[in-house]
Structure formats: C-alpha cells, structure tokens
Amino acid sequence: MNRTLPLLLLFLITIKSYAQEDAWVYLTDKPNEATALANPISILTQKALDRKQNHGIAIDARDVPVHEPYITALKSQTGITVMAKSKWFNAVHVRGTETDISALLNLSFVDNIDFADNGLDLGSRSAAHQDKLNIEDESIVFTYGDTQNQVEMINVDDLHLADYTGEGITVAVLDAGFPNVNTMSAFQRLRDNGDLLDGYDFVNRTDAVYDNVASSHGTRVLSTMAAFVQDEFVGTAPDASYYLFITEDATGENPVEESYWVEAAERADSLGVDLINTSLGYTEYDNPNYNYTPADMNGQTAFITKGATIAGEKGILVVVSAGNSGATTWQTISAPADSPDVLAVGAVDANGDYVAFSSQGSAAQVGYQKPDVVARGGAAYVVSENDVITQNNGTSLSGPILCGGIASLWQAVPELSPTEVMDYVRQSASQYTMPDDFLGYGIPDLALARTLGVEEEAFNSFSVYPNPVKDELKFNIPVETNNLNITIYTSLGQEVRTVKLGQNVSNINVANLSSGIYMMKVSTQHQSKTLKFIKE
C-alpha cells in the first residue's frame, strides 16, 4: 500500500502534464508598427479609415496586425497549435500541454502567457456558453405580417416610413452558423440588392460560411434584421449590408471561441463595419477549470468582453444579447454583454413584459446598468434555415431585432458617434428615469431616439447674433428644428418675454428691453439650453 499511493500520484501528474490546455500568448511588440501606421491603407480599408475619421477615432498600434513571423515561430514550437490571433491584444491563442505552452516564455518575443485554466499559475481567463435558442414550435410602406409587433414595439416602423431602412449601414453578425442564407427566398431581396457581403468561418478557417451546418442559429438571428417575405415578414433593417462571421463552435464550449470572436471583430473593424451584432454569451465551458463565475461579469475579466470594449473604442457600436440565464442559478448576464461599452439587450414578450429566461443585471456591474434595454425575445418571429416563418424564444432574437432597428436609426442620424447613438437609445426607453436589473432602461422608442439625436445636433449649431445687440436679436436656426420655445430672463431671473419660433422664423425685436445682461432659455419638448446675451 505504501508504494501504491506514490505511483497513483505520479500517474495523475503525468495525465495533467499531457492534457491539452488553452492559453493566450501575449507578444512583446509589432516590428512593422511604424511602417504600417505611416501607411494606414495597408492595414485598413478606405471605409474603415473614413469611419474612424468621421467619429474622431485615432489609428493606433492596435490596428496593426500581429507580426506574422512571430506566429510562424509559434507554430513551429513542439506540441503547439495556433488557434487564433488578435491584433488588438497583440496575442495568439494556442493549444498544447501546460509544459509546452510554458516553454514559449523562452522565446524572446513572448511577453507573458495567460492560461484559460485559472488553476495554472501563469494567468487566467474563463467561460463560454452560447446563448442557445429555445425553439417552441419594395415599397417603404411595408406590410409587416408576423413581425408587426416586434417592429412596432421599438417604433422602427416610423423610421421605415421616413425611408430609413438601414441603407448605407454595415452590420457584422458574429454567430454560430448561416446555412442556406445564400439560397433562401427570405434573403432574395438582400442578395438582389448586393447587401449580402462577405463571410468567413473562423472556426474552420474557410470562406465557405454557408457550408457549416452544425448550427442554424445565425440564419435565424440574421432573419430578424434582414429577411423580407412580401406581406408576411420584414426585418428591422432590410436594406442594411451584412458580413457573416462564424465564431461559435457548435460542437462544444471552449475559450478559443472568445478568441475567434475577437478576430472577427478585428476583421469587422478593418472592413469599416458600423455595427456588430452577436447573440453569443460565455459563462461556462466543457472544461470546468475554464469557467467564469457570475462575479466575473464585471466588464473587465473575460477576454471577449475586453475585445468588445476595444471594438467600441474603435468606433463600432456593439449590440449583444444579454443571455438566457434569468431563471437559472447563474441568473446574470454573460460575456461580452457585461462590457459597459456595449448595448446589452434583454427580452420581453409581445405585451412588453419581462420573460423569466432573460438574464439580469447584478452587483458585478459596478457603476453601470445591465441589461441596457430590452426588445421582444419571447416567441419572436424568425425565418428558419428551411425558409419557414416560425417562433423562437431567446435574447438571441431581442438583440438582433434591436440591432437592426439601430441600423435604421443610424442611417437617419449618421453624424452621431456610436456612444451618442447608444445614449439616445437608452434615453428613449420606457423606464429611462427608473431602470432596473430586469428591463434595464426599458423598451426603446427609436423614432424618439432619432428626434433626440436631431435636436442635439441642432442645439449644437444653434446660435444668436449680434451679441451685444441693440434692436434685433437674430437666430441661426437649424433646418431640422421646429417649434423652439424662447424664454428671456433678466440676470436676476425675472421672466421678461416668451416667444415660440417656427422653422425659418429668425429674429426677435428687443429694442424695448433695458440695457444689461439677459439669459435666454431655448427648449423643445425634449431638450433645452441656456444662452447669454447683452442688450446695449
């Protein structure tokens, strides 16, 4: 018996030594960084450069690809398989034994190693779990058919009537599989208009994105935004353009899927994508050593969450399904919905009531609200991979329903930054002044969000002249602004005049006012600002 225990321990140690592990290998530098930044068109498309310029986003070292000779050197190391790479993190996701991965620290260009297994001393990450669907069973004047409720709930139909249907906005859908999108009649309009763009399967490293039939999740997700069946089904952004990227391996759960996601987000950034929609969420893996905890949903732990945050910094608006764990012991949102810089979308039913499966906010999100908003995810209508209209449950659907709506909104106010768009979506929501962990700020009204955005832009350019003034105070009134209420006060706060200005009414006679300093409050139904002028 005294010999058996040491032999058993030796056997267990040997198994541990040869088990395949996942890890992120962070590199020291990018030798080609200066050259690439001096010639940004060599690393980014013109559309990406234009988007960054329009939103004041700087091009920096994170835009430079990982140094390929470093990747080649890693691939040549004993027992190492390179699974993915990330230019934003200057990191490579590898798989191998703990011993072989640890040996990579001997390479001069390796800065540090972070194992997915928190029990290994070199670092940590964790968790994944796809937000699974629980399947239950050319005119701008659209007949929405089955989608009428989910479209009208967020008031995107008003945007469609104003000819804002997502035209000119590019969405990248990061999901599990898109079988038959290239042949289904529900996407015929999308294909005919040239709006079904490129695609890539990051899991199998192939352009054959429609051949991966392990999951039809992405097909159904895409349908909520882009499908069109005359008089029966209209997505929330039928005229937006779409890239389709497979990042989820439907055969299992492994942290490499987080790395695939970040790679795809980087590809989306380089292509000049405006919006990323993802109905994936990560919490737990097949290997429990990689698992996250609910406390890790703090916006700064998960690799994918940090990647989503960078995507936001790069000028992409990231819309993420909150998760389907509301009725489980996990309960809270999943990664990357926990990033404070993404729009996390929970689910309600056709009546606008919270559905139990929708993941909730928690104390892990310190100083910010999750979910951000909600849309219909209870018995929402989709088009299946068999080209049949059906109903599914899941925040997997509320997320893209709203994402498509935001694409239509952004077409209406293209000068707004991603942060401004998200802010106006939140401000338009049904319980903006009293958010909670179930519905966040509530159900958005995207037509109202457009009004808020237009008024904000109008206010930014509103001005009065001359100042000082003798007789007539003139206004520079933006074209989009109607029915401005002007109230003039003395410096002591006494109201002296109220005027309602319509479009192109551009002056007020102030000749009878006494000389002095006056305050002017300019307001609409939703916004106000105060200006000062001097009466000579």
* Active site positions, annotated: 175, 217, 396
Bridge partners of residue 353, in order along the sequence: none
Name the DSSP class of 288. Answer: G
Please, what is the angle between helix 256-270 and helix 303-313, to 10°?
10
Instruction: Determine the distance from the C-alpha atom of residue 110 to the mean position of all C-alpha atoms in its chain, rounded to a whole number.
Output: 31
- Distance, in Å, from the CA atom of 403 to the CA atom of 387, rounded to the nearest integer, reads 22
- Distance, in Å, from the CA atom of 343 to the CA atom of 226, rounded to the nearest integer, reads 20
What does DSSP say about strands 228-229 and 110-115: parallel, antiparallel, or unpaired?
unpaired
CB atoms within 10 A of CB 468: 10
Cis before residue 336, ω within 30 degrees of 0?
Answer: yes
Q: Residue 198 belongs to what H/E stretch?
A: strand 196-201
- Distance, in Å, from the CA atom of 134 to the CA atom of 394, rounded to the nearest integer, reads 6
Spatial contact of 486 and 498, defined as CB atoms under 8 Å apart: yes
Q: Which residues contact 47 (CB under 8 A, 6 or more apart)?
A: 170, 271, 272
What does DSSP say about strands 241-246 and 275-278: parallel, antiparallel, or unpaired?
unpaired
Q: Which residues contact 6 (CB under 8 A, 6 or more apart)?
A: none
- Distance, in Å, from the CA atom of 432 to the CA atom of 367, rounded to the nearest integer, reads 16
Alpha helices (H) in 271-355, listed in sequence order = 303-313
What does DSSP say about strands 91-97 and 20-27: parallel, antiparallel, or unpaired?
antiparallel
Distance between terminal CA atoms of the chain?
104
Instruction: Determine the distance from the C-alpha atom of residue 237 to the mean position of all C-alpha atoms in its chain, rounded to a whole number.
Output: 15
Instruction: Determine the distance from the C-alpha atom of residue 302 to the mean position of all C-alpha atoms in its chain, rounded to a whole number.
Output: 16
List phi, psi (to 5°) of 436: -140, 180
Tokens of 75: 């691939």
Tokens of 113: 């190693």
Read off the amino acid at residue 372. D
